[in-house]
Amino acid sequence: MTFVTPRKLLTIMLLATALGIGYYSMNTAPVLSDESHTYHGDTAWKTDVEEAQQVAAEEDKPLLIYFWTTWCTYCDDYNSNAYTDPTVLDRLDDFVLLAINLDDGSPEASELQQRYNANYPPQHVAVTPDGEVLIEINGYAETDSFAAYLDEARSEWEER
């Protein structure tokens, strides 16, 4: 009687495969965030609400708040379209970027989420450093209209 039967061998191979998948996928998963930023397309967004507000006030720029989740397919569309588009990236320079992961559940995040009625992703809100709404973009906007929204937010901001 041999110790290793085909079935046992298959099972062991499967476990090894599972371990391999686990290890490999964990090590190669794209980094979404480090201590102070999350990354979407070619853009880096601040995650600390207070810090972002402070920077916005210091630099006298409006804030663009982006509500997103990992499983939102329209957020992926933003990543591959708007956030890699040079015209959009240019315009984003005029804003302080703050990204809120709706799954994160921190009190600051849920407060912002409630204040701007961000119920499901994706949602963008451009606000003044004091938190007054300039424009809202609910859901997905094609890159052109996304850029147009940003222009609108900027002119709203400049009128103030």
Partner 1 sequence: MTIGTVLIAVALLAGLAATVVLFYSYLRRDDRYVDAVTPLIGATAGLLVIALGYLTYQFVVTDYSNAYVWNNTANYIPVLYRVTGVYAGNEGSILLWAAFTAVVALWAAVVRGLDGRDTKLVQGITMGIVTYFTAMLFVDSPFRSITQEFPEAGEGFVPLDGTGLNPLLIDPYMAIHPPVTFIAYALLTMPFAIGVAHFVSTIRGDGGIFAEWIGSVTRWLRISWLFLTAAIVLGSLWSYTVLGWGGIWAWDPVETAVLIPWLFLTATLHAVMNYRSRSTYATLAPAMTATTLALVVYATAIVRSGVFRSVHSFANDGIGGALLVLLAATATLGIGLPFGYWLLREPEEDVDDSQTWLSRTNLLHLAVLGVGLLGFVSIWGLSFPVLNSYVTGMEVEVTGRYYNLWSYPIAIGVLLLIGFYMDYDVQGKRRASISLAVFTAATILAALVAPSETWTLSDVSANDALFYRIVGSASALSVVPPAAYVCLTVVNRALELVPGAPNRNFQLKQAGIAMIHVGFALLVVTLAFSYLFTAQSSLVVADAQNEATLEDAPVHDVPGSSYAVEVTDYRDYRLPEDPDVRNVALSAEQVIDRGEGIHETRQPVYGTVTQVNQGPEATVVQLDNSRIWLGVVGESGETVDVSEGDRVVAVGTVMWDFLPEMQQSDAVVVAEPANVGPVADPPQALDQTRVEGSSAGLVVYEDGNRIASGEAGQERYVQQGGMEVRNVLVDRGLAHDTYVIAAVDDGTVSLTIRQIPLMTAMRASVGLLLLGMVFVVLFDPAYGLVRSWPRTARQTNAVETSD
Write out the residues near partner 1 by the rule CB under 8 A: 1-2, 5-7, 10-11, 14, 17-18, 21-22, 24-35, 38, 69-74, 76, 80, 102-103, 105, 114, 117, 119-121, 138-140, 142, 145
Nearer to partner 1, 52 or 137 (CB): 137
Q: Is the CB of residue 158 less than 8 Å from the CB of residue 94?
A: no
Nearer to partner 1, 26 or 93 (CB): 26
Determine the Cα–Cα distance for residues 153 and 144; give it in Å rounded to an integer. 14
Nearer to partner 1, 14 or 151 (CB): 14
Q: Is the CB of residue 142 less than 8 Å from the CB of residue 122?
A: no
- Least distance (Å) between residue 122 CB and partner 1: 8
Nearer to partner 1, 17 or 87 (CB): 17
In order of 33, 37, 55, 59, the CA distances from 49 in angstroms are 15, 11, 10, 15
How is residue 18 written in tokens?
Answer: 């599972």
Q: Is the CB of residue 78 less than 8 Å from the CB of residue 130?
A: no
- Least distance (Å) between residue 66 CB and partner 1: 15
Determine the Cα–Cα distance for residues 40 and 49; give it in Å rounded to an integer. 17
Nearer to partner 1, 71 or 160 (CB): 71
- Least distance (Å) between residue 4 CB and partner 1: 10
Determine the Cα–Cα distance for residues 42 and 111; give it in Å rounded to an integer. 27
- Least distance (Å) between residue 11 CB and partner 1: 7
- Least distance (Å) between residue 143 CB and partner 1: 10
